[in-house]
Chains A and B, each alone.
Chain A
Amino acid sequence: MSARDRIRAENLHAGYGEQEILKAISCSFVPGTFAGIIGPNGSGKTTLLRAFSRVVPSAGVLTLEGKDVRDYTPPELGMALGFVPQDEERPFSYTVMQVVLMSRYVRASRFTSLSPDDYARCRDALKETGTTHLADRSIRTLSGGEWQRVLIARALAQDTPVLLLDEPTSHLDLAHQAEVLSLLRRLAGVGRTVIGVFHDLNLAALYCDRLIMVCDGRIVTDGTPAQVLTAQRIRQVYGAEVVASCHPATGRVFLLPVHAAARPQGTARLNVTVVSGGGSGASLFHFLAGRVFALSAGVLATTDTDYQTATALEIPCIPIPPFSHIPAPALEELGGVLAGADRVVLSAHPVGPGNLPVLLALGEVDPARVVVHLSEGRDFGSYDFVKGIAEAAYRDLVDAGARCTATYEGVLAFLDGDAGGPEGREP
């Protein structure tokens, strides 16, 4: 809480009539913030936004620029705070321009026309939201997404220091979602306070500086996306299983829903070890994670996607530092894991001098317990970066009787017990 706070709520309660929706909300927002309010359906996100804009009556401290929100006159509030609703009735055929010009009413004299400046500002807002071409269209003919962008344009042209948006991207396609969210980020960058309610957690994490998670009318957590979006909290608040990881392209936290089956009920039938590398095992982990196996993974460098996936799915593996030869203890541990495995799945992966020992260690395993997954259209040679040694090792495994399959179903069939004779495919 500081003097810079643009909006400050302390012990804020709000609701409709008898029904209290928000309970003891305390939070504050400084200029230049892009904050996202997230939470499950019915948690009070929209009510919080509407309490800020005074359309839902509230009790407790709620100040805007240091002054109690309830002490604002309607025009003062209209100049301080803009609001983008999720949708809005369209009973009359105003043109898009007419609707956007409504943002300037609050600044215009009752008895004069709107000024050329007002028109210019509205044209800018249309341009910023990519709706210039719609200016003369009747609002009743717009699609949901077009209408939503027009509503955003209207709030932009209102030129308020605070911008509140209720799911501003809910009707937008992918390209327009990115466009609108980038625009909102830019607005925060030039000192506006932008607060939005979001359903799409990944989009919110990607664009917001700060996330406030609301549940049952209370703030559960408030912080950076990475602090707020943890798998454990999502499980608590949303009752959903997700994998939270760092997106390699954006560096932002991102969530992946895990299929409900990923947490199998019942006791494992078999110990299965998946030997992979270079990302070759990630989707196989997901494929097998929902089945009734006791899964383990092999030696994985901590920068490897396979490592991240295994960790996220809570599959034990033998981690090693990146870009190094495999330490002897790790190899020993691998030997133990392979010896204890009922079945070993080898997901064909690039082999260089660093990880060659893993492949060679597989030579010690009974080939009848091994299945090799080799994707359609690939051959072992394409994975060899050690002048034929790896290719030979792969071939030896198959020649010695290991099953070779191009599909995950083939892997599953093998694991499901028909470990009979080798069905070998010549790569």
Chain B
Amino acid sequence: MTRTVPVILGLGVAAVVTVVLCTLTGPAGFGIPSTGPGAADIVGGIRLPRVLAAFFVGGCLAVAGAAMQALFRNPMADPYILGTSSGGALGAALAIVFLGGLYVPVFAWAGAVVAMLIVWSIAGQRGVISVETLLLTGIAVSFFFSAVVSFLVAIAGQNVHQIIFWLMGGFWNASPGDALLAAAILVLAGAALFAVGRDLNALSLGEETAAHLGIDTARVRWTVLGSSTLLVAGAVSIAGSVGFIGLVTPHIVRMLLGPDNRVVIPACVLAGGILLAVSDTLARSFFSDISVGIITAFIGAPFFIWLIYQRGHVA
């Protein structure tokens, strides 16, 4: 409790430093490139938007992950668990295969939202939506969409690479508009989730517990599902499906600060942003701009395995 404020302040300072350092880092080394025409444009016009887009998308995924984990009472839940990422990937793949790559972000967004809606409507058939039903439906829909994407990959021919890149995620084409969009979604949905932070705490001990504590569980559930859809669909439409940020960041934050969601949610904005900005900078500067999803998986998967072995400390 007592270290909450210093840790959040520290994360804030670290976020600013990260954005600055990442912007200054490139394949040519560290610092502002002094040679060549347009060097300043590279830093201000290309790198900075990309770093900021990565930062805000990281924040979106981490916040969505924290909220999902609390809602599903499962520290292993993932923001993609309701089929969002496979829906986004399917939308993108459709646009690539049938529209020749036009409107890919729009289709990715629509795919993610449609996937969420399908999962909700199937899970909500019997009136009350149970968390277990939602999870299982999400997994089933996810597999189905992935199968459709695989089918599209098989018939895509020329466009296979584009789909693959979308599946792994990256910020190659990040524009200032993308950074702004991600920031706007993050502020909007993040604020909504922060507002139900206490309710999420109660809900993370069980739906009945929360109801007995006077919490409007239905409203909180819709707030979480709606906000997460917005966050994850936004992230997918900008960067494709980048894994592990939404899974791992909330864990790190809870280890540092405990599980109170009024603290976890703002801290996840900063920590998720730092993690994805650094990962993207690594990918861009040292691995000839490979997909950032590869970097997050490289770091995230072993970390996740370590977490499983540390179950006793899993916050």
A interface, CB within 8 angstroms of B: 50, 53-55, 73-79, 81-83, 85, 88-95, 98-99, 102-103, 105-106, 108, 110-111, 140, 158
Interface mask (B230-264 → A, CB under 8 Å = 1, otherwise 0): 00000000000000000000000010001110000
Q: Is the CB of B205 within 8 A of A88?
A: yes
User: Which residues from chain A contact B209 at a C-beta distance below 8 Å?
Assistant: 85, 88
Q: Is the CB of A106 within 8 A of B214?
A: yes
* Segment at the A interface, from B8-16, B194-202, B266-274: B194-202
Q: Is the CB of B73 within 8 A of A91?
A: yes
Q: Give CA–CA (A76, B34) in the complex, Å.
A: 66
Q: Is the CB of A93 within 8 A of B315?
A: yes
* Neighbour of A92 across the interface among B198, B215, B259, CB < 8 A: B259
Q: Is the CB of B214 within 8 A of A91?
A: no
Question: Given known contacts A85-B209, A110-B198, is B214 in contact with A93 (CB within 8 Å)?
Answer: no
Q: Is the CB of A92 within 8 A of B214?
A: no
State how many angstroms separate the Cβ of B95 from the closest Cβ of chain A: 39
Q: Which residue of A lies closest to B72 (CB)?
A: A91
**B211 adjacent to chain A (CB < 8 Å):** yes
Q: Is the CB of B211 within 8 A of A92?
A: no
Q: Is the CB of B216 within 8 A of A73?
A: yes
Q: Give CA–CA (A186, B221) in the complex, Å.
A: 38
**B300 adjacent to chain A (CB < 8 Å):** no
B interface, CB within 8 angstroms of A: 1, 70, 73-75, 195-196, 198-199, 201-202, 204-206, 208-209, 211-217, 254, 258-260, 312, 314-315
Q: Is the CB of A94 within 8 A of B74?
A: no
A53-B211, A85-B212, A92-B75 given. 17 additional CB < 8 A pairs?
Answer: A74-B216, A75-B216, A76-B214, A78-B213, A78-B214, A82-B212, A83-B208, A85-B206, A85-B209, A91-B73, A94-B259, A98-B258, A102-B201, A105-B198, A105-B202, A105-B213, A105-B214
Q: Is the CB of A94 within 8 A of B211?
A: no
Q: Give CA–CA (A111, B205) in the complex, Å.
A: 22
- 10 cross-chain CB contacts under 8 A: A53-B212, A54-B211, A55-B208, A74-B217, A77-B214, A92-B75, A93-B254, A93-B259, A94-B260, A106-B214
Q: Which residue of B lies closest to A155 (CB)?
A: B212
User: Which residues from chain A contact B206 at a C-beta distance below 8 Å?
Assistant: 85, 88-89
State how many angstroms separate the Cβ of A416 from the closest Cβ of chain B: 59
Find the residue from B199, B208, B312 having the highest chain A CB count within 10 A: B208
State how many angstroms separate the Cβ of B281 from the closest Cβ of chain A: 32
Q: Is the CB of A98 within 8 A of B198?
A: no
Q: Is the CB of B205 within 8 A of A99?
A: yes
Q: Give CA–CA (A85, B254) in the complex, Å.
A: 26
State how many angstroms separate the Cβ of B315 from the closest Cβ of chain A: 5
Q: Give CA–CA (A81, B214) in the complex, Å.
A: 9
State how many angstroms separate the Cβ of A295 from the closest Cβ of chain B: 53
Q: Is the CB of B211 within 8 A of A110?
A: no
User: Which residues from chain B contact A79 at a C-beta distance below 8 Å?
Assistant: 214
Q: Is the CB of B199 within 8 A of A55?
A: no
Q: Which residue of B lies closest to A73 (CB)?
A: B216
Q: Is the CB of A90 within 8 A of B205?
A: yes
Q: Give CA–CA (A37, B1) in the complex, Å.
A: 40
Q: Give CA–CA (A16, B289) in the complex, Å.
A: 55
* Closest 7 pairs (CB-CB, A-B): A78-B214, A106-B214, A92-B259, A83-B212, A74-B216, A75-B214, A93-B315
User: Which residues from chain B contact A55 at a C-beta distance below 8 Å?
Assistant: 208, 211-212
Q: Is the CB of B214 within 8 A of A94?
A: no
User: Which residues from chain B contact A106 at a C-beta distance below 8 Å?
Assistant: 213-215
Q: Give CA–CA (A99, B74) in the complex, Å.
A: 17
User: Which residues from chain B contact A158 at a C-beta distance below 8 Å?
Assistant: 213-214
Q: Give CA–CA (A231, B177) in the complex, Å.
A: 79
Q: Is the CB of B212 within 8 A of A102?
A: no
Find the residue from A50, A94, A99 having the highest chain B CB count within 10 A: A94
Find the residue from A93, A103, A108 having the highest chain B CB count within 10 A: A93
* Neighbour of B258 across the interface among A54, A93, A103, CB < 8 A: A93
Find the residue from A50, A89, A95, A102 having the highest chain B CB count within 10 A: A102
Q: Give CA–CA (A110, B315) in the complex, Å.
A: 24
Q: Give CA–CA (A103, B195) in the complex, Å.
A: 17
Q: Give CA–CA (A93, B73) in the complex, Å.
A: 12
Q: Give CA–CA (A74, B216) in the complex, Å.
A: 5
Q: Is the CB of A91 within 8 A of B213?
A: no
User: Which residues from chain A contact B260 at a C-beta distance below 8 Å?
Assistant: 94, 98
Q: Give CA–CA (A98, B213) in the complex, Å.
A: 13
* Neighbour of B211 across the interface among A74, A88, A90, A95, CB < 8 A: A74
State how many angstroms separate the Cβ of A221 from the closest Cβ of chain B: 29
Q: Which residue of B lies closest to A57 (CB)?
A: B128
Q: Give CA–CA (A53, B217) in the complex, Å.
A: 14
User: Which residues from chain B contact A102 at a C-beta distance below 8 Å?
Assistant: 198, 201-202, 205, 213
User: Which residues from chain B contact A89 at a C-beta distance below 8 Å?
Assistant: 73, 205-206
Q: Is the CB of B215 within 8 A of A105?
A: yes
Q: Is the CB of A85 within 8 A of B204?
A: no
Question: Given known contacts A88-B206, A102-B201, A110-B198, is B258 in contact with A94 (CB within 8 Å)?
Answer: yes
State how many angstroms separate the Cβ of B258 from the closest Cβ of chain A: 7
Find the residue from A74, A88, A93, A94 having the highest chain B CB count within 10 A: A74
